[in-house]
Structures are given as C-alpha cells and as structure tokens.
Structure 1
C-alpha cells in the first residue's frame, strides 16, 4: 500500500484540478489530506511535514522571486502605455508591401513585446484587438491570422525576461541542490536565472526565425491566404516614415537593452534588472503621456493579483512536494527513470513527452511547480546541464499555451476575436506553430550548444 501512495496522490491532485478547483488549494489541500491519511496508517514520514514552515518561509524570503512582481509590473505598465499599438501600426506599414507582411509584422512585434514585457495574455489580447481585424480586412486566411497571433504572443515564455524562466531558475536551483545532496556532494552552486536568460536567447531567436520562415512559406505556396497591402494604401517609405520607425522602435529597444544588457554584462542580477525594467516602463508610460494615478492604481492592482496567484501556487506546490517525498515518491521516480531503456536519453524523452501531454490540460505554472521538483533532481543527478535542461523545459512549456483544449493563448484570442473567426479555425491555425516548437525542442536536444554556448562565452 505504501508504494502506491505517491501515485494515488498524483492522480488525486489531477482529478481535483479537472473538477475546476483552484490550483494552489488543490495541490496543498489534497497533499495535506493524504499526509493525514498516511500519518494515521503509519505510511508517512512525519519529518517532511515538519519542514513545511521553513519551506514556506524560504519562498517568502527568496530574493530571486522578487523579480516576479517587478517583471509583471513592467509588462502590465507597458500594456497600458500604447507601446504595442504603435509598434503594430508601424510594423504593419513596414512589412505590408510583401505577401505575408502583416503576419511577419505580428511576429516581430511579438518578439519585441516578449523581450520587454514577457506577459503572454496581454500580448495576445493586444495583438488580437489591433491586428486580427486588420488581417481579416486584408483577406488573410482566418486560421493563419489567428495562429500567428497566438504563437507570437507565446514568445514571452522563452525570450527573456521571461517569468517562466525566473520560476524555473528557482525550482531548478532547489532541484540541483537536492541532486547534489543525493549524490553526497555539498556545494553552494545553484542554477542562475541569468544563465537561463542568456541560454534562452539563441533558441528564442531561432524560434522567431522559424515563425517568419513559416509565414514566408505560406506566402510562396498559398499566396491568396496572406495578401499584401495594396500599393494605393501604403505610405511612401521616405525619410519621414523611417523617422517614425526609429521613434517607435527606440523606446522598447532601449528598455530591452537596459534590462538584458545589464544582465549580460554582469552589471545587475536578474532581480535588479527587473527593477530597472519596472522603472523604465514607468518612464515610457510618462513619455507616452499615459501615466496617471488611475493607470498606476490599475497596474498595481493587477500586479498584486498575478503575483499573489503565483506565490499561492508556489506554497501549495511546496506542500505537495514535501508530502510526495514523505511517501517515498522521489525514490520511486528515481528508480523508474534510471531503469528506463536508453538511460538518460530515454529518461529525458519520457519527461518531455509527459510535460507536453500535461500541457493539454494544465498551465505552465502547475507543471513547473509540480513536475519539475519531482523529476529535476533525478535528471540533474544523471549529469545533465541545468541550463540546457531549463531551456528545454521552457520551450516544452511554451506549447501548453497553444495545445487545445486548455491552451491559454487560445482562450485569450477567443475572447477578443470577432464572431466570424471560429474556434476550430483558431485550433487549426496554431497546429503548424506547435510543430515548429517541437522541432525547436528536437534541435535543442540534438545540439545542446544552442543553449549552453552563449552562457559559457559570456562567463568565460
């Protein structure tokens, strides 16, 4: 009976989540019920639950996690400063003369917003409100238009500064230290969020290139699906137009340089860079004349709601993790993964497959806080590079925003799309981008240097 308890705990949490209960309460509440049952029947190691207060206190005092509310504040403030609106209008005019130009402009703006906000919901909703009607009016295929907007909005999950990378950095640090303890190694080394930021740059940019390449392919083989803007409706690309391009690109580009540049050059930690980004977002909003008490109040309120949700899930996941280990679940996972055919390759392949399938029904936050603490120590003890593993997990989690039926990007766009764009069209539109993300995952598995070369070069 004791060896079945970890599996029953995992299944029970999944069932409670599918019933629609809040994630944090599902994780913590179900785990506590199982801890009580295990204690009653003598199946549970009580020492783990005694460590719970220290674990929760550690979450609340974790300096790395201070970056979460700061990056959320930066993204929400930029959403309200009309930076995205100006970028979309200008990029559409810049790429409009070519077939697929509107789709390319959405991808480029998605990349810039990802590197300056990292908030998927805000990006998808903004681009859905501003770009989707324009693309449909230009006779774009609804599936292509919807898929491009959904996929471009998810770039904030992999292109730093990304909240998922901040959370992964903290979870993987704990997993890395646990792996070292399991091997009898006592070391203060951790997984730096800055390393994950740097390691995700090249894969993120390659993914942007893949999206643009797909749009070019559609323009070549299905030109009627992505027509160009008629010449009579395009402005002349004279010096005034290029001055407008520079004026629109300069503010977000400057913010990107300030945040990522300070990390790359070792001037600031990711947490300190997040504060730079928050101040920069305030300055941009003031420059756009969008900063007032009403806006600031709304931004602070939304930041508080999102941050509270993340930390509550973190606490619930800490309870779940401790109870899971109290039943010996970590040992069961270790035995299972280490005895798989193919060794470390088979273990990584299975974990990635499970995460991908969980993405159909769970959000990236649940997967990060529930699955990674369980499998992370095992995989890292097998000798995997923590930065490479973190970037692999981040790209895999990115697909959870696009996979039906519960992909959040699909929900965001469905909420703002006009009635003539059907839900099946949105689902069909994201399928090619899911394939591109999986191909990027395969490329990263075959060529780990895509994630590890830049961090090694920066710190060498």
Structure 2
C-alpha cells in the first residue's frame, strides 16, 4: 500500500480514536455533544470518499431531526423539511453567487482558447536572462492564467503539459519544476477574481468587493516570494536550474530589418525613423515601417495618456458648494436672525398681571430738530420672468483649477527618465519580444484589469464584472480564431457542472450549519474557546493552525463551508476584522492543494507528468513552497496594511 494511503488512514484513525476518547458516555451526552459528533462524522465521511455536498445535507437533515425531536416530537419531521426548503431558498436568493458561474465560464473560455501556450513562450523569451528563467516564466504564467481562470486544476494540468517537459528537457530539477507548477497554479485561490473569496464572502457576510481589493497585494506578494525563491535557488544551485544556452536567447528578426545595417544591436525607434526618412530601407514598404514604429512607440503613448489623465485628476477643481439647504434649516436661520419678525410668538395672556402705565413718569425730553429715522425695509427681490432673465445674465464664476502636487511632478520626472532609459536599450530584438507579449500577455492583462478595476473602483458589482469578463473571454476566443460551437458548448457544460457543485455545497453547508446551531454545538465551541482566556494573537494562531491541519484531509471548499461558520462568530469577541481574517484564511487554504494526502495539485500534475516523475518527487517539490506560504501568512499578519491598505483607501 502506498505511503500517502497509510498517511490518510492514520489521520482517519486518529479522528475516530479521539472521538471515542473525548466524547462523554451516551447517558451523559447532550445535544451540543451530538453537534460535535456530527462535525466529526462529516469529516470522516468526506475522507472516506463520500460526496461533500450530499454528506453535509444528509448529516444536517438527520441531526436536525434529532434536535427538533428533542423539543417537539410531533413536529420534528415537518420542521426538518421546512428547514431544508428555507435553507435551499436562502442560497438561491443570494445574488452574490450569480458571479460564480460567470467567472467559471470566463475561465473555461480562456483555457479553451489556448492562450497559455502563447503566454508561456513569450514570457520564456522575455525572461531569458533571468536566473531560472523557465521556472520564473512558469510562475508568472501560472499567476496570470490563474487570475484569468481561477480554476486550479486547469492551470496545473495545462502547465504540466506545457512547462514541465520544457523544464525537464532544459535540465531543471524535477522537484523544483513540480513545485513551481503546483504552487503557481494555486495562486488562483488567492488572486482575484477568486471563487474562494466569493464563497467566503457569502459564508461570512463580508463584502466580496473589499475581499478582492484586499487580496490583490497579498497575492502579488506571494507570487513575488515564489519568484525570489527560484532566483535564489538558481544562483546557489545552478545544477537545479541551469541557464539557457546562448543560442536559445537569440530572437529571430523579421526580413525588413535586413535592410537596416546593424539592426540587431541598434535602437528600434531611431533605426525605424532613419529608415523612413532616408534610403536605408528603400525596398521595404513604408506601411511596414510605420506600423512597427507605432508599436515601438506604444509604451510612450500609454505613459503619456496615463500621465495626462492623472494630471486632469490632480488639477481638477474642488466641487462647487451647493446652494441646497436642508428643509427647515433656512427657516431656523431666518427666525434666529430676525428676532420675532414673522415668527410664531406666544400670544399675550388675557387677564394676566402687568405693570400699569405710570402717569407723569419722567421721560427724556425730545430733542428739538431731531426726527425719528424711518425704518427702511430691504427691497424685495423682483419676482417673475424678468428676475429669472436678469439672474441668467449674471456670469457664473468658474472654479479655479488646483496646481498639481509635487508628487505628480516627481512621478512624471521618474517615469520620463525610465521611459528614456527604456528606449535607449529598446533594440529590434526587444521590439520582437514586445510584439509577442502584445499578442499574448496584454490582451489577458487588459481583460483582467478591466474586470478587477471595475469591481475594486466601484464601477460594477462582482456579478456585472463577471458578465463583462465572460464576454471578454468570448472576444479573446474570437480574436485568436479559436471560437467555435464545440468550444462554447464545452465551456458552458463545464461551467454548469462546477457551478452546480458549488451551489449544492452551499445548500448542504447551510443545512449543516443550521443543524449544528440547533444542537448547540456552536455554544460548546464558543464556551470552550472563551474559557481558555486567549488573547487575539493566540486565537489567531490557533485558528490558522487548525485551518492548516484541516488542509491535509480536506479541500478548501469543505473548510470554508463547514468550519468558517464556526470561526466567524468568535471574531467579534477578539476584535478581529472578518475581512483580515478572510485574507489570512485564503492564503492559508492554498495548503489544501499542496499538503498530502489530498494535495489535488499533485494529483493533477501526476496525471499529465512523464512516467519517471513520481508522486513523492512532486510532494518534495511542494514542501519549500508550503514554507513560503507560511512566511507569507506571517508577513501578512505582521504587516496588516499589505491587505487592508487598499480597501481602506478605496472604501473609507
């Protein structure tokens, strides 16, 4: 029997033994203990291979009937069936879940359009001089493709077919190659648009928009840590990641460059401009030269457009003060400023006592020649069309533009210097690499930025952005001439299957959580955790260790839908932000795909790897990347601004 099977059976046996040891005698068991028994039995049933969704539903219905039967035996069956219907309807009415099938459909369209092959080849050539270039290109490709699809199995499988043979042929270590593919494929769990974040947001009641904004920088940080590890390994152990031969670093130039002397080492922009003006390329059509010059100037044009928009935003005048006054406020002001004029006053009381006027009282003699100044009332404003016409002739004062800040000018100067340096070294070979990236990387990047930008900046809801992403996937498939009826049918069929699985998981989780709460299992866990008098740091460590250990026997879906409803109610007691907790969980749950015995990424890769690549080698290659994930969790916890800065800036 294989080692991973023994490992899984040992965990299963430990759960069963712990269940019998820790549970009280049947005579002393309460409903809360039945809830804990249900939780343990669900984990055991899932490890034995039973479908997760229907295991949750079955266990939830059975133990919910026990809970209702203990209080009202005559209504137990009816209440249990009502609970099932209500929980299923609540899941159906959750509009956040609509984005799941659309994002999944977008991912399958991008996968079927075969964009990953173009992307990997262009990144491989662009990073040819970086140590461990093949492994670095693999991680970057996995990160971009995982962001576009969010489907771990698809990314790992395709990169196993494409990158693993190339790395093994180049002499890369099997462990390093396997680790790069499996760890890079799991980045789709964390980097938005992630289905996991949608599921967590719907389960924990956290805004998916804020989760997407918060997960962006931690995902980039984790991918950067992977790349840094590969570069360090390639430097310290060149035998594990040998550099590419010089022949493979040379980029073939097109025919038109043959008419330009020394084109390979000459700057692309000056060379093209001289060829257009002079007789250097007389036999080359001017349309070819102009189109290549336009492509070469695209970075400068993009930089100018971005800085122009930034300048308009930075110098935009302040919003003019509005003249709208809250109802009732003007009357209060008038009443306070005009005294008793026009205001409601207490009427004089009839028959009340008052000081009688004194006859013959001394009074100041009148001053001769003095007259009482007449009371001049303020002229009333003219009414009618004449007044409106006169007011319209008064020129409105335009708000003055603000001067640009020093930060803008510093960014402009640094960016201009960087663009100048870029074009000094921008040769014809780099122009060809740029055109390859323009046809593979940039379309995906634009689609991803459009989807994420519309969500993060509040231009669209996640559902609307997912619909836009699905439409963008169709456009990409058509643009790359991969679109046909079979592609559309397969993508729709796979998206429907995956969506059905996720939605049934939600239904099962909702029924399970309700039964767990009815039995009082949540109260027992709350009392147990609070009775330990943990500090917030200790509770966070305990929760993350439990989630890390749960990643061994369970997948992330089971962990989210089963255990997050148990952890989330405890966060308020320890003053922990559910958003921050969700980011830590999302980073931690990547271990569910990398930790044995489940380690689905390892099995995805093993299914397409050459026969000589063993499962143990794949597991050994994943271990360093699991350690990097733990380091990423520590960095995120030590510096919460990595995940909370962007949501705090965008959603004050």
- Segment drifting more, 269-278 vs 28-37: 28-37
- Segment drifting more, 51-60 vs 358-367: 51-60
Following superposition, the deviation at residue 55 of structure 1 comes to 2.2
Contact 2:210/2:456, CA 8 A, preserved across alignment: no
Look up the match of 1:198. Answer: 213
- Please give the residue correspondences for 1:362-401 in structure 2 after superposition, counting only pairs within 5 Å: 362-401=554-593
Name which of 50, 59, 66 aligns with 1:30. Answer: 59
Provide the C-alpha distance between the structure 2 equivalents of 1:403 and 1:61, rounded to a whole number of angstroms: 35
Provide the C-alpha distance between the structure 1 equivalents of 2:250 and 2:194, rounded to a whole number of angstroms: 35
Instruction: Tell me, yes or no, if structure 1 residue 412 matches structure 2 residue 444.
Output: no
Provide the C-alpha distance between the structure 1 equivalents of 2:468 and 2:105, rounded to a whole number of angstroms: 11
Provide the C-alpha distance between the structure 1 equivalents of 2:467 and 2:573, rounded to a whole number of angstroms: 34
- Segment drifting more, 342-351 vs 215-224: 342-351
Following superposition, the deviation at residue 366 of structure 1 comes to 0.7
| CA root-mean-square deviation | 1.7
Provide the C-alpha distance between the structure 2 equivalents of 1:344 and 1:421, rounded to a whole number of angstroms: 44
Instruction: Tell me, yes or no, if structure 1 residue 251 matches structure 2 residue 266.
Output: no
Contact 2:551/2:589, CA 8 A, preserved across alignment: yes
Provide the C-alpha distance between the structure 1 equivalents of 2:105 and 2:125, rounded to a whole number of angstroms: 30
Provide the C-alpha distance between the structure 2 equivalents of 1:353 and 1:141, rounded to a whole number of angstroms: 31
Instruction: Tell me, yes or no, if structure 1 residue 229 matches structure 2 residue 421.
Output: no
Contact 1:114/1:161, CA 8 A, preserved across alignment: no
Contact 2:192/2:216, CA 8 A, preserved across alignment: yes
- Segment drifting more, 91-100 vs 272-281: 91-100
Look up the match of 1:110. Answer: 142
Instruction: Tell me, yes or no, if structure 1 residue 130 matches structure 2 residue 156.
Output: no
Following superposition, the deviation at residue 271 of structure 1 comes to 1.3
Provide the C-alpha distance between the structure 2 equivalents of 1:223 and 1:107, rounded to a whole number of angstroms: 18
The DSSP-based 3-state class of the residue aligned with 1:310 is helix
Q: Structure 1 residues 26 and 419 mapped into 2: Cα distance closer, same or farther (>3 Å)?
A: same
- Please give the residue correspondences for 1:23-422 in structure 2 after superposition, counting only pairs within 5 Å: 23-42=52-71, 50-173=82-205, 191-236=206-251, 237-422=429-614
The DSSP-based 3-state class of the residue aligned with 2:589 is helix
Look up the match of 1:4. Answer: 33
Contact 1:118/1:162, CA 8 A, preserved across alignment: yes
Contact 2:157/2:604, CA 8 A, preserved across alignment: yes
Contact 1:218/1:226, CA 8 A, preserved across alignment: yes
The DSSP-based 3-state class of the residue aligned with 2:606 is helix
Following superposition, the deviation at residue 7 of structure 1 comes to 1.3
Following superposition, the deviation at residue 450 of structure 1 comes to 1.5
Question: For residues 249-280 of structure 1, what are the alpha-carbon distances to aligned partners after superposition, in whole Å with 9 as ceiling and x for unaligned?
Answer: 11101101110111122110111111111000
In terms of fraction of residues, the more helix-rich structure is 1
Name which of 13, 23, 26 aligns with 2:42. Answer: 13
Gaps of 5+ in 2: 1-28, 252-428
- Segment drifting more, 237-246 vs 361-370: 237-246
**What TM-score, normalized to structure 2?**
0.66
Provide the C-alpha distance between the structure 1 equivalents of 2:184 and 2:532, rounded to a whole number of angstroms: 36
Contact 1:6/1:328, CA 8 A, preserved across alignment: yes
Provide the C-alpha distance between the structure 2 equivalents of 1:394 and 1:205, rounded to a whole number of angstroms: 13
Following superposition, the deviation at residue 395 of structure 1 comes to 0.7
Question: For residues 337-386 of structure 1, what are the alpha-carbon distances to aligned partners after superposition, in whole Å with 9 as ceiling and x for unaligned?
Answer: 22224322222221211111111111101110000011111113432112
Contact 1:97/1:231, CA 8 A, preserved across alignment: no
Contact 2:146/2:188, CA 8 A, preserved across alignment: yes
- Structure number with larger C-alpha Rg: 2
Provide the C-alpha distance between the structure 2 equivalents of 1:68 and 1:239, rounded to a whole number of angstroms: 39
The DSSP-based 3-state class of the residue aligned with 1:224 is coil
- Segment drifting more, 334-343 vs 292-301: 334-343
Contact 1:114/1:160, CA 8 A, preserved across alignment: no
Look up the match of 2:649. Answer: 457
Question: For residues 182-209 of structure 1, what are the alpha-carbon distances to aligned partners after superposition, in whole Å with 9 as ceiling and x for unaligned?
Answer: xxxxxxxxx2101000000111111011
Contact 1:338/1:347, CA 8 A, preserved across alignment: no
Q: Structure 1 residues 40 and 54 mapped into 2: Cα distance closer, same or farther (>3 Å)?
A: closer
Name which of 622, 634, 640 aligns with 1:448. Answer: 640
- Segment drifting more, 83-92 vs 444-453: 444-453
Provide the C-alpha distance between the structure 2 equivalents of 1:107 and 1:249, rounded to a whole number of angstroms: 14
Provide the C-alpha distance between the structure 2 equivalents of 1:381 and 1:48, rounded to a whole number of angstroms: 31
Look up the match of 1:179. Answer: none
Provide the C-alpha distance between the structure 1 equivalents of 2:432 and 2:636, rounded to a whole number of angstroms: 42
Provide the C-alpha distance between the structure 2 equivalents of 1:18 and 1:208, rounded to a whole number of angstroms: 31
Contact 2:552/2:598, CA 8 A, preserved across alignment: yes
The DSSP-based 3-state class of the residue aligned with 1:225 is coil
Provide the C-alpha distance between the structure 2 equivalents of 1:344 and 1:241, rounded to a whole number of angstroms: 51
Following superposition, the deviation at residue 335 of structure 1 comes to 1.2
Question: For residues 160-181 of structure 1, what are the alpha-carbon distances to aligned partners after superposition, in whole Å with 9 as ceiling and x for unaligned?
Answer: 00000111111110xxxxxxxx
Contact 1:71/1:277, CA 8 A, preserved across alignment: yes
Gaps of 5+ in 1: 174-190
